[in-house]
Structure 1
């Protein structure tokens, strides 16, 4: 820490030091080329960008230059005097003008020109001045250029003239004067014309020089969206970045995946059904070079996001890049920029995208009576008595009680509670505030950002609230001509409070729609004149109401220092060291809840265990060190860059949990104020990685590009003799459009590049101590020793001594092109194989007393493609627009899996469901023949007694696919699957994002669609089937169920019969959808108006999120969620942005 503070002191002490511009040196050896091509050569070798207006440079004039280790000034001073040119430097910007003519002293003064004088400024979208912009009166030769502050003044012919404004790298525009004397113009960057720089591993590269599969999005594409986290902001924006938003919970954490299936994993969520499944693992996510959770970031702080999708680009990260890499860059200050304060705020409200319309109590009871009749039985008198009591209370609750008593003295509840109306808000508000300070001097830059988000959840009972705090400080300083220091301090904190139920947090949305005898027939509390007075009942709303609560706090602190030393020209030594601590704290308070269930005399505690307080504290300390050096050299047409470095990371995790039962006083929720059993749990783990990495790029004449990335990586998670492995890659590209014989492509093709890459990556995402045999414990053995049952120890499982890395190899082919300076197109195809996946080994006899070892024997393959298309244009009236499409697809299959020799297709067996040839998302089921209409049809059909002993009209009829005369699953294997087959696939196919932007005068509009082109889904959820699965049910389903009078219904008879709900073709859902993900309209005050109110920029906006979709999914489900979890939200927001 002292070293960290010392470096900060050194950097800050240089804020007011004198400045000496660092001189970039380069070798130039060109013959007989145009000056424009000379500029391109210089831009390829440096960070300089040239700006000049049309007509400044003679396009026919050729020059020759041969200089070694020369500065920019050396080169331009050699070329410009003979060609009548002068230049001015502003940072990395070079403004080129014609040398002004010297007017003799005795020359006759020109006569004054009558006309209309217009002045103003030319800036970019962030308000930065654009020096050297060309301002010309349309249809004339009269023109001028903006000065270094972007100011200009021009005299035009009359008040109706039109100004044509252009600037290299920006979209040209035309502005009518319309009698104005002051016009301020904002130009938008033209990405097609800029030599776009893309963030890659440990550096940046120009987009035209990329040989790997890399996609990038900048902050501009993510702005003005009413989203709560980065997962929502990025969904559909980048091709093959698959984002799963688990639900609409304010604290939900979206998960990321790149290019589909990544491995196999053991799913042991259900202890009775453990089995290996496909894994779509998360990529390695780095924020300014440090691994962290991207969802804790403030979206306002992001500058750009790159994804490295193939081994060729990700190999430099080695062992943790098997699932791809996401590189996040935060915003920094800008040199020579005056302090700029920006305040962003928005208010939004949200409501569930889908809300079930539950049946009322009377209909539910009536359906229960009909279900008995449909099976030829006679309903009991109690059922009719209950029905009458429900009707009486519904029609006149003041004169009737919400219960009746059975002859046996039990309570029969007859209320008509509406659980979703009672528990869910009509709208949940959210406020966001962000304040930033950004700027810099000639030698220093700074960026300070403060963010706050206050979001209410949808539940109005108990507490459902989320808050997030963000602080980011980025400081850069040129201490000397050869030493640069960057510092970062960031702090993120989230706090979430939510209601919980017995056993921890429950899925309340699902629970509200289940068990109608509790949630609908029961009131929340008994009437005051009941035998027990007013008291909670067993209704699920009671659990939400009485105060059981969870508060979780997630905090992260990062401190980072990054020195950079210029050893020689084009040779730099860089390093960064960071310390990050993460603290997670959770506190559950579950007070005692005595409630009435079925008996007035025997009140029961609502919990299976006593009331309790449970506290958890997790702490993670992580240290990261990177040291690397880069060198660039040019020898004629040969350009080479070298990068080599070292990485070391250490991580320590500590877990502490305490629990006390029997809360003495709910007002003092601390463990030492409990009266029952107390428990304590403690755990600790460590891991470390170490690696040496490199990158070599070779570029011949900007036509032939080669690149190799690699890493020799080691991890503590494998045995000492197998911890290190080398992961190399190679890629290349051919810029066909730069060939001399490719002139026939012009002017249509500005860029045409073919690329290919191949490489391998390791996967160290296994448990920390998988290679160490570990004993287990049993709380109490079965035998008594000295009158007690002591703690027992179980023998460790066997460990394979040859455990090693999973290895992923990727082949990638692609083509990138730009046409007419307006259309960008990129297409890529890939095949990824993952071998040596850890799976269960051969089964050993139980007499051995130990489990069989895990071994490297699984193999999967993923094949896919991705397409990026973007079109941009501007109309003559100044209207600008762009349209971008991202489209991608992938499929994953098993190539090898020893853990399922019998090829069981699904079962409680942990290896069931995977076999050679199985595809990710396969759905096995029966083919539906229809619904039985009569007893005669049942008698004539193949027997279905293996599924259920009795069948009636209104039940589902299945097809006999194997022709054996009976419907069943066979041996449940691939060879004998009975009458089941693969009926669909749940993998999202043909995912897409369609983004449209429009700009006209001071208005801007964004429209963003996102969706899935093909997906099958089996909805086995109780909320869907309603009374056919013992749940409350919805009107849409109930009104489309079979009855003797409604034989053409979609659903079978409304009765609880599991055999009707077998996975089958009839009720397989088409889960494809297209959704209007974002719609935003903004208005920026004209410059002359904002200046009058003393602000630099003021923008108003209105936006909406998840506001519309087209899908065939039933209305009670969201097509993204497809479950009865905390629902996805529709959001509407108003925003204000002010810059001073």
Structure 2
């Protein structure tokens, strides 16, 4: 036997390594290529993965990629948000040039619908899908801002310019007068709580917009009826970003923003104010004029700095068990344009989506959490508008923190009663901070039967839990709490230290079975779903005593109960049947049966349903080969949805409420809490909305132009309204009852066009317009021509009152006003109104219904231009037919406001120079003079981006972008902003004009 020497062993090892290397070389192959869009432009961030393995990568700035594929690899999977997925056979090929088709023109695109998915071409309901590539760019702090102006029929109005304040979302007009008009919002299968939580201006602000991949908006009953009693106002389904098989990808993006006040209230300058007082005031009032020139609005506002940072890691674990995952972290720090206001949000999300048994069992675990810390600036805009501009911010006097205040040596507190407060004093003395924690999570199991793969069993169990806490601290230097007297007359304590707390727990279980079959021999496709849902909703509202700043408790402020825990449950059975014949004719039927604990057992259960048909005309032989018409489909549907949100948890039960410690009954020397019976109605039932929708979808020139036209009618019955009760019939003079009817009908039109589609140049434009008419048709059990209606919409000024009304035959939220009389020159005559009923006097019977806060027509405009590595875009909106009550002008633009009889001076709107209104009496405040046309055109966003390509030694792709939000507004409205929710402009927190600069890095 030959002896094994060290030299022989060395030579053998070298030979073995070479042999192994040769095997590896044969086992692995390097491939490369480039991914382009329809114009031949390279697309960054597209995932290129080997099917059935962990091998994968993503494209660089110019769309190029390189990848090592293992032996036996057969299929290359190419996917990206907003583009059609492609699977390509490798077959030994080493270079790939792939052109991806946008999902905007892809009829095979899969769209998220209720309890499942559907191909875009099979949709019969009014459903719109918006993906991340079409989202609004720039400083976006809440999710709904991503789709602003993008969808016909969806009107989004930001509630204020305060950080995280959120928006009011209306889909095809509101369907209720007393209950909610908000759509149901679902995130990754979790139906979110409505109604908000203590300490948060907007519940959606707790969700990080950077984690969102797409929105599906279900607008009609054909699309939304499967959600039954929660779908009267439409449904918005949000899908967040997920991990994918392939190489681990790390993304970091950072956005720096600066916000400025876009427009201030128009008030008298210091010089105008002095001239006015000297011309109209008496000697005592003139003596109060100072020599300062203080712009109080300039004092309270600031440049708002914001920074939004997000880091995500996505990919898949290696080895036998492959777990696609995505982990993200976000931090937002956003100042308000009013000093001291701020929002800080920490967010995190984890998504894991493994598959087992050769993809027969798919598991998805999703957990999202956030901590939002807010400091709310006090409502100082009204005081900044009214405070005397001729006095300084500070006096140097030790009282009231050194701030100027109106003094009265003859009063107990040393202050003039009802005088405005120095706004800078409020900012310095009031500290209102909140801390909101929220977690949304669920586990979904989807099992495709081994022995019957056309059948899937799906289970979804999850929760939405939030806790809001806060503390309000008011310094004893603030005029409103300075040395405030307690109940025994002490003047040694002042200030406030109060807290609040609330917890919401929503848990659910959903399970359904789905059968989906492509029966090609029968030219048929079947999709059938049947399921069950259980939803438990609980709220814990905590109560606390009130304290002075020094920590001593206010007398009689102890709560009766530490907390209460109202709770309700909903049980549902639902189903859907969808049938497609010959890829042309589609029929779909949805049904749902809901039972709610909020209602009497006799009324507890109700059935909802929808039926819809569609005909794909473009698949007929006479159009199939058309070079002009690439898609043409008619849709028609009818269905009934509902809601229960306007009904409290126990309204159908006779119940008692215990009085608080300030409302007790004395018997001898002892005070007793009393039990007060509450009004109840065991006949309460669901509000129901019947919707009819007829639509036409079209695509032209290979779908370079796509669009749709929808005609809809929504009739709501059993609207909730407070109804007067006969003496002795109930425990209150009014009780909630189902008595009203209302109708919305309208037309939607949307069109999107690829105007230019070339290799280095791409131009796209989109436009949508909605006409909606709202009318109340019933408000009483029986027809009553003398019934005035439901007044609401509190206004300030005078002794207060309402400015809006709901009346039969008119739109919801009509203004209820006196008709102003004008002189020959067009100037309004002070306190002179038309005697409409001709009875010789001006009374409330002369009020009339005038215009509405709701727009007749609203529009959205979008545009994008891409040239080589540059791209630019814009988003604009328009609204017509909406009117606004200018409460700032009515409350401050009068002589009485400026020269107050109580002995102080106050600034006001420049409107007083034009109208000369005295401000005497209360009728003046309900003049139609203050109802102004608030139609507008707003340029919401202009953005510019540049793809810088490889950086950091080719380890990352970088993109930089800049944007301006709230660029300009064109309007006839005389106030600061024509877009104020509710139709009453009363010191609205202005929307900032925001400039942003951002960077995005993909590793």
Q: Is the deviation greater in 908-917 or in 351-360?
A: 908-917
* CA deviation after TM superposition for structure 1 residue 609, in Å: 9.4
> Which of 442, 445, 454 is the equivalent residue of 2:333?
454
After TM superposition, the score normalised by the length of structure 2 is 0.80
Within-5 A mapping of 1:353-368: 353-361=262-270, 363-368=272-277
- Describe the superposition over 1:603-649 as per-residue Cα deviations: whole angstroms up to 9, x where unpaired: xx999994332111111222111111111123321211111111111
> Which of 1057, 1073, 1078 is the equivalent residue of 2:941?
1078
What SS does the aligned partner of 1:737 have?
Answer: helix
8 Å Cα contact 2:184-2:236 kept in structure 1: yes
The equivalent of 1:417 in structure 2 is 294
Within-5 A mapping of 1:703-742: 703-742=584-623
The equivalent of 2:972 in structure 1 is 1112
Q: Residue 1020 and residue 497 in structure 1: after superposition, are their counterparts in 2 closer, same or farther (change >3 A)?
A: closer
What SS does the aligned partner of 2:224 have?
Answer: helix
Q: Residue 186 and residue 249 in structure 1: after superposition, are their counterparts in 2 closer, same or farther (change >3 A)?
A: farther
> Which of 104, 109, 116 is the equivalent residue of 1:191?
104
The equivalent of 2:315 in structure 1 is 439
Give the Cα separation in 1 of the matches to 2:66 and 2:861: 31
8 Å Cα contact 2:443-2:462 kept in structure 1: yes
Give the Cα separation in 2 of the matches to 1:451 and 1:197: 29
What SS does the aligned partner of 1:295 have?
Answer: helix
Give the Cα separation in 1 of the matches to 2:994 and 2:681: 52
Q: Is the deviation greater in 818-827 or in 230-239?
A: 230-239
Give the Cα separation in 2 of the matches to 1:887 and 1:738: 28
> Which of 224, 230, 240 is the equivalent residue of 1:330?
240
What SS does the aligned partner of 1:722 have?
Answer: coil
> Which of 422, 432, 450 is the equivalent residue of 1:540?
422
Give the Cα separation in 2 of the matches to 1:831 and 1:608: 64
Give the Cα separation in 2 of the matches to 1:656 and 1:361: 47
- Describe the superposition over 1:155-212 as per-residue Cα deviations: whole angstroms up to 9, x where unpaired: xxxxxxxxxxxx9889xxxxxxxxxxx9999967362145222110011111111000
Q: Residue 577 and residue 850 in structure 1: after superposition, are their counterparts in 2 closer, same or farther (change >3 A)?
A: same
Matched, 1:509 2:376: no
Aligned residues: 877
8 Å Cα contact 2:891-2:897 kept in structure 1: no
8 Å Cα contact 1:866-1:889 kept in structure 2: yes
The equivalent of 2:374 in structure 1 is 496
Q: Residue 852 and residue 499 in structure 1: after superposition, are their counterparts in 2 closer, same or farther (change >3 A)?
A: closer
8 Å Cα contact 1:169-1:193 kept in structure 2: no
* CA deviation after TM superposition for structure 1 residue 988, in Å: 1.6
> Which of 911, 916, 930 is the equivalent residue of 1:1053?
916
Within-5 A mapping of 1:639-1038: 639-664=525-550, 679-680=558-559, 681-742=562-623, 746-765=626-645, 766-779=647-660, 784-797=666-679, 799-821=680-702, 822-845=704-727, 850-876=732-758, 878-898=760-780, 902-904=786-788, 913-931=805-823, 955=830, 958-959=833-834, 961=836, 966=840, 968-969=842-843, 972=845, 978=846, 980-1022=847-889, 1025-1028=892-895, 1030=897, 1032-1033=906-907, 1036-1037=910-911
What SS does the aligned partner of 2:376 have?
Answer: strand
Q: Residue 126 and residue 258 in structure 1: after superposition, are their counterparts in 2 closer, same or farther (change >3 A)?
A: farther
The equivalent of 1:300 in structure 2 is 210
* CA deviation after TM superposition for structure 1 residue 1131, in Å: 0.2
> Which of 444, 463, 467 is the equivalent residue of 1:583?
467
Give the Cα separation in 2 of the matches to 1:873 and 1:922: 42
* CA deviation after TM superposition for structure 1 residue 580, in Å: 2.8
What SS does the aligned partner of 1:1077 have?
Answer: strand
Give the Cα separation in 2 of the matches to 1:852 and 1:532: 45
The equivalent of 2:795 in structure 1 is none
Q: Residue 183 and residue 1112 in structure 1: after superposition, are their counterparts in 2 closer, same or farther (change >3 A)?
A: farther
- Describe the superposition over 1:195-253 as per-residue Cα deviations: whole angstroms up to 9, x where unpaired: 22211001111111100011111111115322221232222121222222111011313
* CA deviation after TM superposition for structure 1 residue 543, in Å: 3.5
Give the Cα separation in 1 of the matches to 2:403 and 2:930: 43
The equivalent of 2:182 in structure 1 is 282
8 Å Cα contact 1:436-1:448 kept in structure 2: yes
Give the Cα separation in 2 of the matches to 1:608 and 1:718: 52
- Describe the superposition over 1:55-101 as per-residue Cα deviations: whole angstroms up to 9, x where unpaired: xxxxxxxxxxxxxxxxxxxxxxxxxxxxxxxxx995499xxxxxxxx
Matched, 1:527 2:409: no
* CA deviation after TM superposition for structure 1 residue 420, in Å: 1.8
Matched, 1:1094 2:954: yes
Give the Cα separation in 1 of the matches to 2:724 and 2:84: 66
* CA deviation after TM superposition for structure 1 residue 919, in Å: 1.5
Within-5 A mapping of 1:149-164: none
Give the Cα separation in 1 of the matches to 2:400 and 2:584: 87
Matched, 1:1131 2:1003: no
What SS does the aligned partner of 2:671 have?
Answer: coil
* CA deviation after TM superposition for structure 1 residue 258, in Å: 1.3
Give the Cα separation in 2 of the matches to 1:957 and 1:53: 66
Q: Residue 751 and residue 454 in structure 1: after superposition, are their counterparts in 2 closer, same or farther (change >3 A)?
A: same
What SS does the aligned partner of 1:511 have?
Answer: helix
Q: Residue 749 and residue 242 in structure 1: after superposition, are their counterparts in 2 closer, same or farther (change >3 A)?
A: same
The equivalent of 1:555 in structure 2 is 437
8 Å Cα contact 1:752-1:817 kept in structure 2: yes
* CA deviation after TM superposition for structure 1 residue 751, in Å: 0.8
Q: Residue 583 and residue 871 in structure 1: after superposition, are their counterparts in 2 closer, same or farther (change >3 A)?
A: same
* CA deviation after TM superposition for structure 1 residue 260, in Å: 0.7
What SS does the aligned partner of 1:742 have?
Answer: helix
* CA deviation after TM superposition for structure 1 residue 1000, in Å: 0.9
* CA deviation after TM superposition for structure 1 residue 303, in Å: 0.9
Q: Residue 854 and residue 607 in structure 1: after superposition, are their counterparts in 2 closer, same or farther (change >3 A)?
A: farther
Q: Residue 913 and residue 609 in structure 1: after superposition, are their counterparts in 2 closer, same or farther (change >3 A)?
A: farther
Give the Cα separation in 1 of the matches to 2:947 and 2:501: 47
Give the Cα separation in 1 of the matches to 2:752 and 2:85: 17
8 Å Cα contact 1:959-1:967 kept in structure 2: no
Q: Residue 1030 and residue 431 in structure 1: after superposition, are their counterparts in 2 closer, same or farther (change >3 A)?
A: same
Q: Residue 847 and residue 520 in structure 1: after superposition, are their counterparts in 2 closer, same or farther (change >3 A)?
A: farther
- Describe the superposition over 1:648-705 as per-residue Cα deviations: whole angstroms up to 9, x where unpaired: 11122112121342332xxxxxx5x658665234211111111111110000001110
Q: Residue 844 and residue 527 in structure 1: after superposition, are their counterparts in 2 closer, same or farther (change >3 A)?
A: same
Structure 2 spans left out of the alignment, 5+ residues: 1-34, 39-47, 68-73, 87-94, 193-202, 407-420, 484-488, 793-800, 899-905
| Largest Rg, 1 or 2 | 1
* CA deviation after TM superposition for structure 1 residue 122, in Å: 10
What SS does the aligned partner of 1:382 have?
Answer: helix
Give the Cα separation in 1 of the matches to 2:461 and 2:492: 50
Give the Cα separation in 2 of the matches to 1:958 and 1:837: 34
Give the Cα separation in 1 of the matches to 2:986 and 2:382: 9
Q: Residue 967 and residue 354 in structure 1: after superposition, are their counterparts in 2 closer, same or farther (change >3 A)?
A: farther
Q: Residue 953 and residue 285 in structure 1: after superposition, are their counterparts in 2 closer, same or farther (change >3 A)?
A: closer
* CA deviation after TM superposition for structure 1 residue 1017, in Å: 2.0
